[in-house]
Amino acid sequence: MQVGLIIIGDEILSGKRQDSHLAKFIALLAERGMQLSWAQYLADDRERLTARLREAFASGDLVVSCGGIGATPDDHTRQSAAAALGRPLALHPKARELIWERVLKMAVEQGTTADPDHPDTLRRFEMGVFPEGAGIIPNPYNKIPGFFVGNVHFVPGFPVMAHPMMAWVLDRFPQLHRRIDVVERSLIVQGAMEASLTPLMEAIEADFPGVKVFSLPSVDHPQWGRCIELGVKGDTDALAPAYDALKRGVIQFGASIGTELVR
């Protein structure tokens, strides 16, 4: 099962707000020995969202979608999820209960009386309208939940709410947590072109299943100038022999090795 992240919002694509979900999600995954397989940014466009969510539901991936689950006219995620699934939208009874608890708390704080039929309350209940059969994701910040269907999960765009909800989602899948973290070892190579080192990289991946080789060339690195950060990543037990083979290959090629890095 791969892990994917969808980040939704015109304000992120326009630059009005900076995304913090990607970095946080990667960190939450790393805490559990997991890795992100893919990520995508999408606008608040119902047709495009429906098409992409249909793919997500069919993929079998563990997917978290951030944003667009409110009840204002520019929020389309709940409707798109329902359309992608071919299911009607319905007010989730547990979501209604949680939202009503929030309404009661706000009424006490404001010194007013809560009315379940007030237009403002009814609009708040709309945030608990999910595709039929959805489960809910608890929101520790203000009780207004997110939802999930299968392996695809929907949380708000607000980081203070979304990030603990992301953690809750990942903890639904303890079978994906790993005791051995994926780590990286790399070296700074100078005096070689990336294309010339490609056969070596292909040989390492062929000889060491489960290890991935990466290459990050730079033409103006502030410390090393023109160089390539060449490395391997994978489980700790498999990493050392793969790295040693990579290093030997670079030396045999005749390139010079600068700093060695471990992450």
The residue length of the chain stands at 263
> What pLDDT shows up at residue 262?
75
Higher pLDDT, 90 or 260: 90
pLDDT at 189 over 60: yes
One-letter amino acid of 208 = F
For residues 175 and 213, is the Cβ–Cβ distance under 8 A?
Answer: no
78-92 tens-digit pLDDT: 999 999 999 999 999
The pLDDT assigned to 180 comes to 58
- What was the pLDDT predicted at 178? 83
Write out the two tokens for 256: 């010079």
Find the helix packing angle between 46-59 and 77-85, rounded to 10°: 50
Minimum mean pLDDT among 7-11, 19-23, 238-242: which range?
Answer: 238-242
Q: What is the pLDDT of residues 148-178, one digit of tens each?
A: 999 999 999 999 999 999 999 999 999 999 8
pLDDT at 181: 53
Q: Which CATH architecture has domain 3-176?
A: 3-Layer(aba) Sandwich (3.40)
CATH 3.30.70.2860 range(s) for the chain read 182-262
Q: Which two tokens stand for residue 149?
A: 């269907």
Residue closest to 149 by CA, chosen among 242, 84, 212: 84
In this prediction, residue 238 has a pLDDT band, given cuts at 50, 70 and 90, of confident
- Strands of the sheet with 182-190, listed across from one edge: 212-221, 225-235, 182-190, 256-262
Examine the pLDDT at 93 and tell me if it is beyond 60. yes
DSSP H stretches of helix in the chain: 10-13, 21-31, 46-59, 77-85, 93-110, 119-125, 159-170, 194-207, 236-253
Residue 182's pLDDT is 56
Task: Say how many C-beta atoms besides its own lie within 10 A of residue 65's C-beta.
Answer: 29
Where exactly does CATH 3.40.980.10 map onto the chain? 3-176
Query: What's the rounded Cα separation, in Å, for the pair 153 and 159?
Result: 15
Give the tens place of pLDDT for each residue, 38-59.
Answer: 999 999 999 999 999 999 999 9
Q: Mean pLDDT in the chain?
A: 93
Q: Is pLDDT larger for residue 183 or for residue 25?
A: 25
Q: Which fold is adopted by the domain 182-262?
A: Alpha-Beta Plaits (3.30.70)
Angle between helices 236-253 and 194-207 (to 10 degrees): 140
Question: How close are the terminal C-alpha atoms of the chain, in Å?
Answer: 24
DSSP 8-state code for residue 20? -
Give the confidence band of 210 by pLDDT, cuts at 50, 70, 90.
confident
Residue 125 has pLDDT above 70, yes or no: yes
CA distance 123 to 35: 38
